[in-house]
C-alpha cells in the first residue's frame, strides 16, 4: 500500500472506510522519514506524540464520531509556526531551545480538521532566504537532484513533500517562500491574500508581507487545506472577516470567459527554459477556454529594491525582541556583562549572518536621515503598485507569470552573493507588497529532470480563480504523477 502516493481525499476515505488506521498512516510516514530524511535533511524535529495523536483519531473513528476534512492527512509544519510542546526554532540558534506553550491558529485549525503532524520542517533562518541554506540545522536538499537546493525559505516543507515523507505542509511566504520552493520541487504552493490566514503564532519576519499557506502535490488538496486554515481570528487584527468559500467543492477547469493577463515586463530577457514553460501553460489554459491580454506595469521591475527595503525594515523591528532575557539563546559568559553588551553578545552570536545583514539593512532604512528616502519612499511605491494592480485586474481575471528565473540551482552557487540571491525573488515579491494571492503550479521537468512551474497571480480574495486556473493546468499535465528517483 503506497500511502505516500495518495491525495488527501484517498487518505481520508481509506481511514473512514477502515482500509487502514491513523496509526498505520503515522507509522508508515515515520518510517519514510527514517529511511529518507538523512538524504534530504527536510525534517528537523519529529513529533514524538504523533502516534498518540493518531490513536486518538482512531478512537474517535471507532466511537462513530464524524472526522474533519483532513482526517488522517500527514503534515509537516514549517518550523516557523509555534506548536505547543513541540520545539519551534525558526531554524535559528537564537531559538534552539524554544518549546512554545501554544499553537499557531493555522496549525490549530489544521489539527482540529483531523490532520496529523509528523514534525517540523526546515527553513531558512527566520524565513530569510531563497535556498534553505541559512537554516541552523544545515543544508536541506532537493529530492529531484540532491546537489541542488529545494528553494526557500520553506525549502524543508517542499523537499519533504517531493520526497513523499509527508503529504502536505504549511509554509509561509514573505517574498516567494512558498511559491519558489514549490517551483523547485514540483509542487502546488499557495500564498493566500494577505489577511486570509492568521499570523498568530507564526514567528514574524516582515509582518505586513508574511502570509501562511498550503504546500501540496495537488490543487484540490491545496484548496481543501486553505479553506480549513483561513478566516478571521480575534488574535490577529489583520485577518479578514470576508467569508471563506469552500473552494474544494467548486473547482472547475472551465476557463471560458476567463481573461488571463500576460505581464509584459515579466517576459523581457526570460530564460528560454522558463519561457517554454510559460508557453506550455498558455496552451493548456487556452485549451481550457482562456483568452490572453497583454498588460503592462512598468513599476514591477523595481519591486526587488522596494521589497527588500520594506522587508528588512520590518525585520529589524520584529527581531529587536530577541535579547536573550525572556527566551532564546544566551551566550556563555553573557551574564557577566553590562546590559548593553549582554544584548549585543546574545544577538551577535544567536543570529546567523544573513539575518544580521537584514537587520543592519533595515536599521539603515529606518534610521534618522534615511527613513524618508528609503522606507517611506518604498511604502509610497507600494501604494502605486497596489493602485496599478487594481487597474490591471479590470482587464483580466488573473496574471500568468514565471515563478523564478530558473529551475533549482546548485547548493553553494548563490549563497556568497546576497544580491544575486535576492534576484531570485524577481517574480514573487510583488504579490506580497500588494497583498495579492498567488499560486505555483508545476508544469514540466527540464532536460536535467528538474521541475519547472508557473505562477498565477489574482486580485485580493479571488483565490478561486487561481485554484481554477491551476486545476486546468494540473488536469491536463498531471505533473503529480512524476516522482523523483529513489523516493
Residues annotated as catalytic (active site), given as ranges: 78, 153, 177
Of residues 265, 273, 276, 323, which one binds other proteins by CB under 8 A? 323
Among residues 75, 83, 124, 126, the alpha carbon closest in space to that of 101 is found at: 83
Binding mask of the shown chain, residues 24 to 63, with x at each position contacting other proteins by CB under 8 A: ----------------------------------------
Residue 90's SS3 state is coil
What does DSSP say about strands 259-263 and 291-295: parallel, antiparallel, or unpaired?
parallel
Of residues 29, 205, 308, 427, which one binds other proteins by CB under 8 A? 308
CB of 63 or CB of 326, closer to other proteins: 326
Q: Are 155 and 131 in contact (CB under 8 A)?
A: yes
Phi (first) and psi of residue 452, to 5 degrees? -135, 135
Using CB under 8 A as the binding rule, whether residue 296 contacts other proteins is answered as no
Minimum distance from residue 103 beta carbon to other proteins (Å): 10
Grid coordinates in use for 222? 491545496
Give the helix/strand (H/E) hosting 21: none
Beta-strand ranges (E) seen in 393-463 are: 398-402, 438-445, 451-457
Residues 6+ apart with CB under 8 A from 269: none
Using CB under 8 A as the binding rule, whether residue 237 contacts other proteins is answered as yes
Residues 238-277 contacting other proteins, CB under 8 A? 238-241
With contacts defined by CB under 8 A, name the span among 3-11, 141-149, 244-252, 297-305 that binds other proteins.
297-305
Minimum distance from residue 61 beta carbon to other proteins (Å): 28
CB of 185 or CB of 311, closer to other proteins: 311
Phi (first) and psi of residue 291, to 5 degrees? -115, 160
CB of 57 or CB of 381, closer to other proteins: 381
Of residues 112, 296, 348, 478, which one binds other proteins by CB under 8 A? 348
Q: How far apart are CA 208 and CA 132, in angstroms?
A: 22
Minimum distance from residue 242 beta carbon to other proteins (Å): 8
CB of 348 or CB of 478, closer to other proteins: 348
Residue 302's SS3 state is helix
Q: How far apart are CA 146 and CA 162, in angstroms?
A: 12
Minimum distance from residue 301 beta carbon to other proteins (Å): 9
Residues 427-446 contacting other proteins, CB under 8 A? 433-435
Minimum distance from residue 281 beta carbon to other proteins (Å): 27
How does DSSP assign 226-275, residue by residue?
HHHHBS-BTTBTTS--S----GGGT-----TT-EEEEEGGGGTT--HHHH
Using CB under 8 A as the binding rule, whether residue 328 contacts other proteins is answered as yes
Using CB under 8 A as the binding rule, whether residue 309 contacts other proteins is answered as yes
Using CB under 8 A as the binding rule, whether residue 347 contacts other proteins is answered as yes
Q: How far apart are CA 385 and CA 56, in angstroms?
A: 49
Minimum distance from residue 386 beta carbon to other proteins (Å): 6
Minimum distance from residue 367 beta carbon to other proteins (Å): 6
Q: How far apart are CA 358 and CA 276, in angstroms?
A: 35
Give the helix/strand (H/E) hosting 172: strand 168-173
Kindly state the DSSP code that residue 331 receives in the 8-state scheme.
-
Of residues 231, 245, 305, 405, which one binds other proteins by CB under 8 A? 305
Give the helix/strand (H/E) hosting 346: helix 339-350
Among residues 478, 12, 431, the alpha carbon closest in space to that of 190 is found at: 431
Q: Are 410 and 147 in contact (CB under 8 A)?
A: yes
Using CB under 8 A as the binding rule, whether residue 156 contacts other proteins is answered as no
Q: Are 135 and 122 in contact (CB under 8 A)?
A: yes
Binding mask of the shown chain, residues 371 to 410, with x at each position contacting other proteins by CB under 8 A: --xx-xxxxxxxxx-x------------------------
Number of residues that bind other proteins (CB under 8 A): 70
CB of 259 or CB of 356, closer to other proteins: 356
The whole-angstrom distance between residue 54's C-alpha and the CA centroid of its chain comes to 26
Grid coordinates in use for 246? 469552500
Minimum distance from residue 327 beta carbon to other proteins (Å): 4
Q: Are 182 and 138 in contact (CB under 8 A)?
A: no
Using CB under 8 A as the binding rule, whether residue 351 contacts other proteins is answered as yes
Phi (first) and psi of residue 295, to 5 degrees? -125, 160
CB of 272 or CB of 333, closer to other proteins: 333
Minimum distance from residue 43 beta carbon to other proteins (Å): 24
Residues 169-228 contacting other proteins, CB under 8 A? 194-195, 207-208
Binding site for other proteins (CB under 8 A): 98, 101-102, 194-195, 207-208, 232, 234-235, 237-241, 299, 302, 304-306, 308-309, 316, 320, 323, 325-328, 330, 334-335, 337-340, 342-345, 347-348, 351, 356-357, 359-361, 363-365, 367, 373-374, 376-384, 386, 418-419, 433-435, 460
Amino acid at each position: 500500500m503506497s500511502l505516500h502516493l495518495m491525495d488527501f481525499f484517498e487518505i481520508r476515505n481509506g481511514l473512514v472506510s477502515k482500509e487502514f488506521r491513523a496509526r498505520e498512516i503515522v507509522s508508515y510516514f515515520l518510517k519514510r522519514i527514517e529511511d529518507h530524511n538523512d538524504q534530504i535533511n527536510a525534517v528537523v524535529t519529529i513529533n514524538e506524540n504523533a502516534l498518540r495523536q493518531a490513536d486518538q483519531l482512531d478512537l474517535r473513528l471507532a466511537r462513530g464520531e464524524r472526522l474533519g476534512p483532513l482526517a488522517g492527512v500527514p503534515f509537516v509544519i514549517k518550523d516557523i509556526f509555534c506548536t505547543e510542546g513541540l520545539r519551534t526554532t525558526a531554524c535559528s540558534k537564537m531559538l534552539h531551545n524554544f518549546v512554545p506553550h501554544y499553537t499557531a491558529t493555522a496549525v490549530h485549525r489544521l489539527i482540529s480538521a483531523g490532520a496529523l503532524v509528523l514534525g517540523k520542517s526546515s527553513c531558512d533562518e527566520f524565513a530569510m532566504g531563497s535556498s534553505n541554506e541559512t537554516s541552523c540545522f544545515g543544508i536541506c536538499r532537493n529530492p529531484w537532484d540532491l546537489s541542488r537546493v529545494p528553494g526557500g525559505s520553506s525549502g524543508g516543507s517542499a523537499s519533504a513533500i517531493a520526497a513523499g515523507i509527508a503529504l502536505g505542509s504549511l509554509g509561509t511566504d514573505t517574498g516567494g517562500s512558498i511559491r519558489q520552493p514549490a517551483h523547485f520541487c514540483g509542487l502546488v504552493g499557495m500564498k493566500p491574500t494577505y489577511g486570509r490566514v492568521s499570523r498568530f503564532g507564526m514567528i514574524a519576519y516582515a509582518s505586513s508581507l508574511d502570509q501562511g499557506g498550503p504546500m501540496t502535490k495537488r490543487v484540490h488538496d491545496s484548496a481543501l487545506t486553505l479553506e480549513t486554515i483561513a478566516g478571521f481570528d480575534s488574535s490577529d487584527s489583520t485577518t479578514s472577516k470576508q467569508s471563506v468559500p469552500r473552494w474544494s467543492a467548486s473547482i472547475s477547469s472551465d476557463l471560458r470567459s476567463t481573461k488571463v493577463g500576460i505581464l509584459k515586463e515579466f517576459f523581457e530577457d526570460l530564460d528560454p527554459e522558463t519561457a517554454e514553460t510559460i508557453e506550455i501553460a498558455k496552451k493548456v489554459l487556452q485549451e481550457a477556454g482562456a483568452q490572453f491580454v497583454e498588460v503592462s506595469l512598468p513599476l514591477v521591475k523595481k519591486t526587488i529594491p522596494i521589497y527588500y527595503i520594506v522587508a528588512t525594515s520590518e525585520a529589524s523591528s520584529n527581531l529587536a525582541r530577541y535579547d536573550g532575557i525572556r527566551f532564546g539563546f544566551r551566550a556563555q559568559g553573557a551574564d557577566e556583562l553590562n546590559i548593553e553588551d549582554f544584548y549585543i553578545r546574545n544577538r551577535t552570536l544567536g543570529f546567523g549572518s544573513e539575518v544580521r545583514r537584514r537587520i543592519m539593512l533595515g536599521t539603515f532604512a529606518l534610521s534618522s536621515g534615511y527613513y524618508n528616502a528609503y522606507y517611506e519612499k518604498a511604502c509610497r511605491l507600494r501604494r502605486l503598485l497596489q493602485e496599478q494592480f487594481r487597474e490591471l485586474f479590470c482587464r483580466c481575471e488573473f496574471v500568468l507569470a514565471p515563478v523564478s528565473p530558473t529551475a533549482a540551482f546548485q547548493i553553494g552557487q548563490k549563497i556568497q552573493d546576497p544580491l544575486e540571491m535576492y534576484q531570485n525573488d524577481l517574480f514573487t515579491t510583488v504579490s506580497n507588497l500588494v497583498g495579492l494571492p498567488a499560486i505555483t503550479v508545476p508544469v514540466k521537468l527540464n532536460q536535467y529532470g528538474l521541475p519547472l512551474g508557473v505562477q498565477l497571480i489574482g486580485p485580493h480574495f479571488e483565490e478561486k480563480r487561481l485554484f481554477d486556473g491551476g486545476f486546468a493546468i494540473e488536469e491536463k499535465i498531471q505533473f503529480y504523477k512524476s516522482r523523483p528517483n529513489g523516493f
